[in-house]
Amino acid sequence: MQEGHNFYAYLPGGASGGILPASMNDIPLDFDTLQPYGCFIGSAAIIVLGHQDAARDAALNMMHFFAHESCGQCTPCRVGTTKAAQLMQAKVWDNPTLEDLNQVMADASICGLGQAAPNPVRCVQKYFPLEIV
């Protein structure tokens, strides 16, 4: 991403790619460089959040999307995305419970949707902690 743009955060790989603060816009957008930051290139789409947006709201919106798109075949994704969305609606997030849920979804979901659903949540917890306390 180019320097000088006025934005708050960006999603480097679409909905499941994670969320990074604008201050990290100099990270090359490729497979190997995003992984240490809890992100991946995903669909290679870039979603930009402005200063009036909140990363927590974006993550919640994505979790609702994942819950809706879940095929329902595996419990970690079917139940996990729905439960995560419920927990994320609280003013203060229950981070230990969300992380337990994230770990189960990442480890036990059959497909990439459930495995990647935790990425935006984890990024908000790591890079935007003031939004969820």
What secondary structure letter does DSSP report for 30? S
Residues 23-66: tens digit of each pLDDT = 999 999 888 899 999 999 988 889 999 999 999 999 999 999 99
pTM of this prediction? Answer: 0.90
φ and ψ at residue 9, rounded to 5 degrees: -155, 170
Percent of the chain scoring above 90 in pLDDT: 83
Question: Rounded distance, CA 110 to CA 73, Å?
Answer: 8
Give the Å distances, CA to CA, from 62 to 12, 16, 26, 34, 124: 14, 8, 24, 19, 12
What b/e string do you get for 75-91 counting C-beta neighbours within 10 Å, with b at 16 or more? ebbbbbbbbbbebbeee
Q: Which residues pair with 11 in a beta bridge?
A: 47
Specify the higher pLDDT residue, 42 or 21.
21
| pLDDT greater than 80 at residue 6 | no
Give pLDDT, residue 7: 84
Flag whether pLDDT at 5 surpasses 60.
Answer: no
